[in-house]
A and B are shown apart, each in its own frame.
Chain A
Amino acid sequence: MPGNPPAPLNDAPLLGDWVAVDAGITFYTGRVELGQGNLTALAQMAADELGVAPEAIALVPARTDRTPNEGYTVGSMSVSQGGQALRWAASALRHLILRAAAQALSPRPELAELDIVEGAVLRDGAATGLTAAGLAGRVDLSAQIADHARLRRPEERRARDLPRIDLKERLTAAPFVHDMERPGMLFGAPVHPPHMDAALMSLDLDALARRSGVVEVVRDGSFVGVLATSPLAAQRAGEWARAQGDWASDTAEVGDPVGAIARSEAPAETVFETGSFNRNDGDWHEVEVSRPYLFHASIGPAAAVALWEGDAVTVWSQAQGVFPLRKAIAMALRKPEDQITVIHRPGAGCYGHNGADDAAFDAVLMARAVPGRPVKVVWSRADEFRAAPMGPAMVTRVRALLGPERRIKAMDIVVNSPPHAHRPSAGGTPNLRAAAYLADPVPPAPSKDIPATRGGGADRNAVPGYDVGNVRVRKRLVYDLPYRTSSLRSLGAFTNVLAIESCIDEIAARIGEDPFAFRLRHLEDPRARAVLERLEEETRAARAADMPEATGWGLGFARYKGSSGYCGVLARVELDDQIRVTDAVAVADIGEVVSPDGARNQIEGGIVQSISWTLKEAVQFDGAAVADNSWLDYPILRFSEVPRLRVDLIDRPEEAPLGAGEISQGPTAAALANAVRQAVGVRVTRLPITRDAVIAALSA
C-alpha cells in the first residue's frame, strides 16, 4: 500500500463513491471550481494515474446527491487532499481494469507486465487490442479503494499545463450560477437589515408588492424578499425597499475597531510554547502591526437559484461546501437534510467564506413562496459589501530577544483578533445571515476560530518558522465587536507573517545585516533555505543597482501554516505622489507541482491581491453597520498599479503536493512594509500603508 489513504477516503472508501462507468468513465470529486483551475488539475491527476488522456474522462464537481462529501474547498487542499483521493481511486480502477485484462488475455500475463497508456492496455509495451474504457464496465465498483490502489511512482508522472477546461466558456459564454435559465423562473432580491441583530421596524410591504414587475413579497421575521418577473425589476424593487425600510438595533457603536482590538483584555490562550520566558532582561525588539477589516470584494456579487417541489428543495449555489450548506439550510428550516439537494455552479472569484451561502438561503426562503418555480437571486453590490462576512481586523505584536552572536534567542507573539473561521453549520448553528432574523430565528453560535492543530485561524502562522529556541504564542479572540467576520484567504497568516517579518527586518536593519543573511542564519530547514537562496541569487543584480531616493527593496518569507508551501517575496517600491510597487519576485516550493502555470497563476494572484490589501483597502463603518456601498468607497488595485511580476517554482516531484493559493499573501505584505521602511526610514505598522500613513509616520 502506498502510505495511508488520504482523508477524503475515510467516509467514501468504495470505488463507486468516486467513479461511475457508463458510456465513458466519470470521476466524482467533492471539491468545486472556485476560479483557481483546480478541476483541471484534478482531472489531470485522475487521468494520469489511470493512464488515459484527460479528455477521455469526465469529472463531476460537488453535489450532495452524488459526489463524495469533502466538506469545503478551502485551505489550498484541493490538490493535496482531493487530488490525492482521486489518484487513489484512479489507481484502484487501473489495477482492477488490468486484472480484467489479464483474465481476457492468453497466455495469461502477470499483472506487472500490463499497463494502461493513453487509454490502451499494453503488455510489455505492446498493444493488446484491449482498452481501459472497454474493460472498465467489468470492474466491481463496490471494491474498497484501499485494497487495490498501487499509486504510480513519482517519476512516471508528468507535470504539465493543460488548458483550463472551463476558461473559454468563462470568457465567452454563460457558465455562472448568475447565468442559469429555467422555464418559469422568477427573480428575487433580498432586503437585508444593516446588521445581524437589527429588527425591521417599518416597510410598506403593500407598496412594495405594487412596484413594477413585482409578483410576490416574502416576509419572515425581519427578512424581506421581493420576487419579480425580471432581474431588473427585482433589483429596482429591492433598492426601493432598502431605501424605504427602517430597522432598529441595540448594537453599540465602535469608534475605532482596530484600537478596540489592540486594547482588548479578553482572555489570552497560549497556543504554542517552547523553551522559557522568565527573563525579561536583554535586548528586546518589538513590532506591533494591524490590519483593518477587509472585504472579499469579488467582482461578481453572490448568487443562487432555488426550486421547491413539494417538501423538497434543490439549490444551485457557488458555495465552497455544498454539503455544509445543505446542513445549514436543514438547521435553519428545521428540516431533514435528505429533502435538500445542493449542486455547485460556478460563481465569480471566491477567496473564502463570502455571501454565497447567505444568497443561497435567501433564494430558498423566496422560492418557498412560489413552489414549482425556480427563483434566481443575485445580490446587489451594496448587499455584497454590507451583508457578507468580512475578513476580521487584527493586531499582532511580536517581541524578539537578540542574544549573543546577534542571534534571536526568543520570540513572544500575541495575536488579538475577532474570530476568522465561522462557516455555515460549523459550531452547531446555520450561520446563514437571514436565519438570524427569521420569525423563528437561529442566531449563530460564537465562532471558536480554528485550532492550531488544523492550521489555526487568527493564530495561523503566528509560530515563527525560524530556529530561535524559546517561542511563546498567545491568541486573544475578541468577541465584543459587532461586525460579522469569517475566513478570508490565508486567515491570520497575512497579519502574523507581516508582524514576524517586520520584526525580523527591524532587527536586521538595526544590526546592519543583510536581510537574506540574517534570516538564513536562523533557518535550518533545507527547503526554506533553498527558497531564500534562490530568491537572493535571482535578485542580486537588481538589488545591486543604484537606488534613486525614496525607493526600497523589501523581503518577506514564510512557510504557510508551518507545514504547507514555502514562499519568499522580494518587492521594490517607489514613493512619490503615491506608493508604487514596481517589481515583485517570488520563489516558492509547493512540493510536487501538478500544473506549473496554474500554480504560478495562483501565487501571482495572491501577490496582487495582497498588494491591494496592504496598500489600499479598509472597510469603513457607520456605527455598527458597514458604510461602504460601492467600489468608489472601497478601491482595490487597478491595472496601472500592478508591478512587474515573476514567480519561480522549485519543483520537488518526490515531495507531497502542497497548496499554492494562500502562500504568498503574508510574505507579500511583509515585503512591501519592509520595502517602505527601507525607502523612507520609518515603518508603517498600521495597514493600509497609504501615502498619508507614510507622511504621518515620517512626522511622528
Chain B
Amino acid sequence: MARTEEPGVALTVNGRPVRIAGDPDRPLLDVLREDLGLKATRFGCGQGTCGACTVVVDGEAGLSCDLPLGELEGARIETAEGLLSDPPHPLLDAFLARQAGQCGYCLPGILMAAKALLETEPAADRRRIAEALDANLCRCGAHHRILDAVEQAAREMAGAT
C-alpha cells in the first residue's frame, strides 16, 4: 500500500513518529492522553483559555485542547514527558531545584510554553517571559518562583551553547 493511502495522521511526538487514526476533529490533547498515554498534558478547561494543555507544535506553543488532529499532518509535537531526557532538560532541573510550583497541575503547560519561548528567544528577560506565560494560569500563586526558574534555565541554556 502506498504510504499516502495509510489511514490517519502522521506526526512526531517527542521525536517518535506515530500515526493516529480516527476522528480528525479530535483535539490533540485527547490523542496525547488517551491514544499515546502521555498524561502530563492536562485538561484544564477544554476552551483554550487556561494553558494547562500547552504543548510545543513545530517549535511554537500551542493549546492542545484546541488543535484538531486533522490539521496536524507532519507536525512535530513536544510534551513535558520529553523533558525527561538524559540529562534532563534545564527547565525541569530549574523548576525542581526552586520548588517552582505547588499542586503542579498547570506546570507541564507552563514548561512547554517556556521551552517554546527560550528556543526562539534565548535572551528573553523576565518581563518577556512573564508576557509569554500570560496565556497560562496558575492558581496556587507560584508565579514568581516559576519566573525565577525559567530565568535560571535560560542562563543555563545560554551557558551550554
Binding site for B on A (CB under 8 A): 34-37, 161, 163-164, 166-168, 170-174, 176, 178-179, 181, 230-232, 235, 297-301, 346-351, 378, 380-381, 597-598, 601-602, 604-609, 612, 630-632, 636-640, 642-645
Q: Which residues of B contact A349 (CB under 8 A)?
A: 102-103, 105, 139-140
**B residues at A contact (CB < 8 Å):** 26-27, 30, 33-34, 37, 39-40, 42-47, 49-50, 52, 80-81, 83-84, 92, 95-96, 99, 101-108, 111, 127, 129-131, 133-134, 136-147
* Cβ–Cβ < 8 Å partners of A297 in chain B: 139
Q: Which residues of B contact A347 (CB under 8 A)?
A: 103, 105
- Tally of A-B residue pairs with Cβ under 8 A? 175
CA distance A587 to B146 in the complex (A): 21
Give 4 nearest A-B pairs by CB, closest first: A35-B103, A170-B104, A608-B141, A605-B141
Residue from B34, B42, B111 in contact with A231 in the complex, judged by beta carbons closer than 8 Å: B34
Q: Which of A168, A346, A638 has the most CB of B within 10 A?
A: A638
CB A44 to nearest CB in B, in angstroms, measures 14
- Contacts A299-B137, A605-B142 aside, 14 further interface pairs with beta carbons under 8 A come to A167-B99, A176-B42, A179-B39, A230-B30, A232-B26, A232-B27, A297-B139, A299-B52, A299-B105, A299-B106, A346-B103, A631-B47, A631-B50, A631-B137
List 20 A-B residue pairs with CB atoms under 8 Å apart, sorted by A's residue number: A164-B99, A167-B99, A171-B104, A172-B84, A172-B108, A178-B42, A178-B43, A181-B37, A231-B34, A298-B105, A299-B42, A299-B44, A300-B44, A301-B44, A348-B105, A601-B102, A605-B102, A608-B142, A609-B141, A637-B141
Residues of A with C-beta under 8 A to B103 = 34-35, 170, 298-300, 346-350
Taking the nearest CB of chain B, how far is it from the CB of A531, in angstroms? 21
Contacts of A168 in B (CB 8 A): 92, 96
* A41 CB to nearest B CB, Å: 12
Chain B minimum-CB-distance residue to A602: B102
In the complex, are the beta carbons of A642 and B80 less than 8 A apart? no
When chains A and B are docked, how far (Å) is the Cα of A349 from the Cα of B111? Answer: 18
B contacts with A: majority SS:
loop
Known: A173-B81, A349-B140, A638-B134. A630 touches B47 (CB 8 A): yes
Residue of A nearest to B44 (CB): A299
Write out the residue numbers on chain A whose beta carbons fall within 8 Å of the beta carbon of B80.
171-172
Cα A176 to Cα B108 with chains together (Å): 13
User: What's the least CB distance linking A408 to chain B, in Å?
Assistant: 33
Q: Beyond A172-B80, A173-B40, A630-B49, is A605–B140 a contact (Cβ under 8 Å)?
A: yes
* Contact (A172, B130) CB under 8 Å given A163-B96, A299-B44, A349-B103: no
Among B127, B130, B137, which residue has the most Cβ atoms of chain A within 10 A? B137
Cα-based distance from A386 to B66 in the complex (angstroms): 22
Residues of chain A within 8 A (CB-CB) of B141 are 604-609, 612, 637
Taking a contact as CB atoms under 8 Å apart, the answer to whether B102 and A36 are in contact is yes
| Bound CA span A481–B141, Å | 31
Nearest A residue (CB) for B107: A171
Complex Cα–Cα for A608 and B141 (A): 5
Residues from chain B with Cβ under 8 Å of A640 in the complex = 127, 130-131, 134
The minimal Cβ–Cβ distance linking B134 to chain A, given in whole angstroms, is 5
- Could you say which residues of chain B place their CB within 8 Å of the CB of A378? 43
Interface of A is mostly: loop
- B52 and A300 within 8 A (CB): yes
Most buried by B among A299, A605, A638, A643: A299
Task: Identify the interface centre among B96, B142, B143, B146: most chain A CB within 10 Å of its CB.
Answer: B143
Asked if B99 and A630 make an inter-chain contact with CB atoms under 8 angstroms apart, the answer reads no
Residues of A within 8 A of B139 (CB): 297-299, 348-349, 351, 609, 636
Nearest residue (CB) in A for B133 is A639
- The interface residues of chain A lying within 8 Å CB-to-CB of B45 are 301, 381, 630-631
Distance (Å) between the CB of B77 and the closest chain A CB?
15
Which of B84, B92, B144 is in CB contact (< 8 Å) with A604?
B144
Asked whether A167 and B101 contact (CB < 8 A) given A299-B138, A605-B140, A631-B50, the answer is yes
Bound complex: CA of A484 vs CA of B50, how far in Å? 25
Q: Which residue of B lies closest to A629 (CB)?
A: B47
Contact between A639 and B105, CB atoms less than 8 A apart:
no
Residue of A nearest to B111 (CB): A171
The answer on a CB contact under 8 Å between B92 and A172 is yes
Please give the distance in Å from A588's CB to the nearest CB on chain B: 15
Decide: A604 and B145 in contact? CB cutoff 8 A.
yes
A299 to B104, CA, bound (A): 10
Chain A residue at minimal CB-CB distance from B143: A642
Q: A172-B108, A349-B139 are in contact. Are A601 and B50 (CB under 8 A)?
A: no
**In whole angstroms, what is the CA distance A668 to B110 when docked?**
26
- Chain B residues within 8 Å of A171, by CB: 40, 80, 83, 92, 95-96, 101, 104, 107-108, 111
